[in-house]
Amino acid sequence: MKTELVRSYLYTGEMSMSKLYIVATPIGNLKDMTERAIETLRSVDWIAAEDTRRSKKLLVHFDLKARMRSYHDHNERQVSEQLVAKMLAGESVALVSDAGTPLISDPGYRIVRLAREAGIDVIPIPGASAMLAALSVSGLATDRFVFMGFLKKKARKKQLQSLLRESGTVIIYEAPHRVSELMDDMLAVLGADRTVVVARELTKRYEQVISGSVAEQRANLKDGTIPEKGEFVILLEGMTVDYDEHRADEVLQFLLKEVAVSKAVMLAAKVTGVSKNELYQRALAIKDVS
């Protein structure tokens, strides 16, 4: 694609590359819009927006008049090529998402890749990010974290199981109509005691940041303490218990020869300090192999 675009402009002698700007916008509070972001959106020829209707409100608020182009999951490949062609012809483009920093659980990587392959400068205009805002006020460890975005419904339990031994803070985005189901699966896979922080409607009027165990947060959602409305960032505390995985398996293998799975898990938890839920998953894997 790069070669075709570059050749077409070399042959006509019209090649004059501009820039692609990746512009962060507010996640709620419009006062979080940076001066540099406003200046950038005012200067570009085109703004590529995930939802042009939503972004139009932002442009009207700041009196910005650049032309807009819809850019989303279903047209990303085609529009990326069209916009890169415009940049090769000398026009500048800014990419924005519905809210926050583009490409964070949003479309955009294709146009960034194509622009770089075509030799076009890609310039970040940093600003608001829901995951970083949530992490900064969570009270959980920030030296290591894993961003998962939106978990896939059908694979959610498997994805959570893969995080059982993750030592860093895990950050998940979730929609309001699915957040209770996510907490149900967390309870089933991770157990009741793991610390979870629920950050809802960050920077908006009804902002909430609530810390508690998986069981407590599930109850908060069920009784309406945390309304199932708005945008959610869920932060899961990383595993803090250090243990020898091989030793845990050895203990389980020995106990499973003598007692039932539930009893083996209970005893192994006391010996190793590993959570019952983690040991239960390992016990099932051992039983399957044997």
Say if residue 121 is in the same domain as residue 208.
no
Say if residue 121 is in the same domain as residue 152.
no
Say if residue 115 is in the same domain as residue 165.
no
Share of the chain above pLDDT 70, in %: 91
Say if residue 70 is in the same domain as residue 120.
yes
**End-of-domain residue from the set 128, 143, 170:** 128
Round to whole Å and give the CA distance between 38 and 13. 33
For position 113, what pLDDT does the model report? 96
**End-of-domain residue from the set 102, 128, 154:** 128
* Radius of gyration for the alpha carbons in the chain, expressed in angstroms and rounded: 24
State the first-to-last Cα distance of the chain, in angstroms, to the nearest integer.
Answer: 52
Closest by Cα among 276, 271, 266 to 251? 271
Question: pLDDT (tens digit, 9 = 90+) per residue, 225-257?
Answer: 999 999 999 999 998 655 566 778 888 888 998
**Domain carrying residue 62:** 2-128
Number of folded domains in the chain? 3
Question: pLDDT (tens digit, 9 = 90+) per residue, 18-43?
Answer: 999 999 999 999 999 999 999 999 99
Whole-angstrom CA distances from 27 to 100, 105, 207 are 5, 14, 12
Say if residue 94 is in the same domain as residue 119.
yes
Q: Where are the alpha helices (DSSP H) in the chain?
A: 2-12, 35-43, 52-61, 76-88, 109-117, 130-138, 156-161, 179-190, 214-222, 245-256, 261-272, 276-289
- The pLDDT tens digits along the chain (290 residues) read 455 555 454 444 444 579 999 999 999 999 999 999 999 999 999 999 999 999 999 999 999 988 999 999 899 999 999 999 999 999 999 999 999 999 998 889 999 999 999 999 999 999 999 999 999 999 999 999 999 999 998 999 999 988 887 889 999 999 999 999 999 999 998 889 899 999 999 999 999 999 999 999 999 999 999 999 999 999 999 986 555 667 788 888 889 988 999 999 988 887 777 778 878 888 887 877 66
Strand pairing category for 19-23 and 145-150? unpaired
Say if residue 224 is in the same domain as residue 252.
no
Residue written as token pair 């922080």:
197
Say if residue 164 is in the same domain as residue 194.
yes
Q: Which three-class secondary structure state does DSSP give residue 196?
A: strand
Strand pairing category for 208-213 and 232-236? unpaired
